Structure 1
Amino acid sequence: MTRLPALAAAFAPHGELAAALLPHAFAGNDGSHDASHLMRVWKNAQRIQAEEGGDSRQLAAAVLLHDCVAVEKNSPRRAEASRLAAEKAWQVLDGLGWRTLDISAVAHAILTHSFSANIPPETLEAKILQDADRLDAIGMVGAARCFYIAGRMGSGLYDPLDPLAEARPLDDKAFAIDHFETKLFRLADGFQTKAGRRLAVEREARLRSVLAMLVDEI
C-alpha cells in the first residue's frame, strides 16, 4: 500500500494506529468499501463523537476494521460479514498487544454495525460506528454507492415499465432504485445518537432528491 502514510494521516489523531491497521482493513476489490469509505466513516464518527463523547481510540480501530472481511451483497453469508470482521479484528488487535477489554469493545462495535446482522449496539462507541457507517449509505454518496454496487451485481438501474414498483413487488436484486425503498430510506429511522439522527435527516433529504431527479428524467 504505497499511499499508507498519507492514508494513515487522514485518521488523525490516531495516525499511528491507522498505519498499523490499514494493511488489515481491506478485503476484495469493492469500491464501495475502500479507503475512501473508511475516511468518510471516520469523518462522520468524529462529528458524532465530538457531540456524544466516547473512546476515540476504540472508535478509530472499529472504523478501520469494520469491513476487514468481504462478503458480497448477494452472498447467502452476507449476514455473517460483521461477525467475521469482528473475529478478524480481535486477532489483529490482540497481535498488537491491546487489552482484552478494549478489544472486546471494538469487536462489539464491528459486530453490531451491520444492517444485515440485525444485532443492537449496546455501547456508545458501537452506536457511533453504526450511525457513522449508515450516514455513508444515504445522501449523495449513498446514491452513488447504490448504483456502483448494482453495477457490480449486474442489476439494472430501474424497471422501464414500472420504475417505482407501483404494480409489482420491489426487487433490489434486479433494479438499483428499488434498493432506496427496500433499505436506504429505512435507515434514517434507526439512528442511535442524537447527532447521528440530525445528520441523517439532512442526508435522507438529499437521497430523496436524487431519486426525484432520476424519476423526473425517466
Structure 2
Amino acid sequence: MSHLPSLAAAFAPHEALAERLLPHAVSGNDGSHDAAHLIRVWKNARRIHGAEGGDLRILAAAVLLHDCVSVEKNSPLRAQASRLAAERAFELLDELGWRTGEITAVAHAILTHSFSANIPPESLEAKILQDADRLDAIGMIGAARCFYIAGRMGSGLYDPLDPLAEDRPLDDKAYAIDHFETKLFKLTDGFQTAAGRALARQRQERLRAVLGMVIEEI
C-alpha cells in the first residue's frame, strides 16, 4: 500500500492508528473491499457516530480491520469471513498492546458486521459498523459495487427475456440486477441506529432509481 501516510490521513482523528493497521487492513484484490471502501465506511461511521455517540477509537479499529481477511463472495467459507477477520484483528491489536476488553469490543463489532454471518450486534460500536458498512452496499456506490462484483464472478447484467424476473426465479449468481431484489433492497429494514436508518432511506431511493433507469434503457 504505497500511499500509506496519505490514506491514513483519511482516518482522522486516528491517523496514527490507521498507519499501523492499514498494511493489514485489506487482503486479496477485490476492488469492492479495498482501501477506498474502508474510507467510505469510516466516513459513514463518523456521520452516524456524530448523532449516536460511542467510542470512536474502538470504531476506527473495527472499520480498519473489518475486511482484513478476504473471502470471495462465491466461497463456501463466505459466512465465516467476519469470524476470521475478528480473530485476525484480535491478534493484531494484541501485538499493539491494546487491553483485552478493548480488543474484545473491536472483535465483536467485526464479527457481527457481516450480512452473511447473521449475528446480531450488541454494542453501539458494533451497530454503527454494521450500519456504516451496509450503507456502502446501497445507493450509487452500492449499485457500482454490485455490477463490479457481478463482473468478477462472471455474471450477466440481466436476463434479456425477463430482466425483472416476472416469470422466473430470481438468480443473482446469474444476473447482476437480480441482486437488487434478493439482497440490496432488503438491507434498509435491518439498520441498527436511527441515524443509519435515515441515511439508508436516502440511498435506497437512489438504488431504486438506478434500477429504474437500467430497465428504461433496456
Structure-2-length-normalised TM-score: 1.00
Per the alignment, residue 166 of structure 2 pairs with 166
Number of equivalences: 218
Q: What secondary structure, in the 3-state scheme, does the structure 2 residue paired with 1:12 have?
A: coil
Alignment partners' CA distance in 1, 2:94 and 2:164:
48
Residue 209 of structure 2 corresponds to 209
**CA distance in 1: counterparts of 2:188 and 2:114, whole angstroms:** 14
2:177 aligns with 177
SS in 2 for 1:68: coil
The AA in structure 1 aligned to 2:4 is: L
Give, as a single letter, the amino acid of the residue that structure 2 aligns with 1:91: E
1:44-83 alignment runs, 5 A limit: 44-83=44-83
Instruction: Confirm whether residue 4 of structure 1 aligns to residue 12 of structure 2.
Output: no
Question: What SS class does the counterpart of residue 141 from structure 1 fall into?
Answer: helix
2:14 and 2:92 map into 1 onto residues whose CA distance is 16
Q: Structure 1 CA distance, aligned partners of 2:65 and 2:215?
A: 37
Alignment partners' CA distance in 2, 1:182 and 1:51: 30
For 2:186 and 2:76, locate their aligned partners in 1 and report how far apart those are by CA, in whole Å.
22
Q: Which amino acid aligns with 1:110?
A: I
Q: Which residue identity lines up with residue 117 of structure 1 in the other structure?
A: A
* Percent of aligned pairs sharing the same letter: 79
User: Any residues of structure 2 matched to 1:1-218 within 5 Å, and which?
Assistant: 1-218=1-218
SS, match of residue 203 in structure 2? helix
The runs of 4+ residues in structure 1 deviating greater than 6 Å are: none
Kindly provide the amino acid, as one letter, of the partner of residue 134 in structure 1: R
Instruction: Give the Cα separation in 1 of the matches to 2:57 and 2:81.
Output: 23
Deviations 1:17-44 (A, max 9, x none): 0000000001100000001000000000
SS in 1 for 2:183: helix
Q: Distance in 1 between matches of 2:118 and 2:211?
A: 26
CA distance in 1: counterparts of 2:88 and 2:136, whole angstroms: 23
Unpaired runs of at least 5, structure 1 = none
State how far apart, in whole Å, the 2-side matches of 1:2 and 1:122 are. 36
SS at match of 1:28: coil
- The answer for unaligned runs of 5 or more in structure 2 is none
Please give the alpha-carbon distance, in whole angstroms, between the structure 1 residues aligned to 2:175 and 2:12.
39
Shift of 1:208: 0.2
The Cα of 1:162 is off from its aligned counterpart by 0.4
Alpha-carbon offset, residue 2 of structure 1: 1.7
Question: SS state of the match for residue 61, structure 1?
Answer: helix
What is the alpha-carbon distance in structure 1 between the residues aligned to residue 77 and residue 55 of structure 2? 31
Partner Cα separation in structure 2 for residue 25 and residue 108 of structure 1: 17
User: What amino acid does structure 1 have at the position aligned with 2:210?
Assistant: V
TM-score by length of 1: 1.00
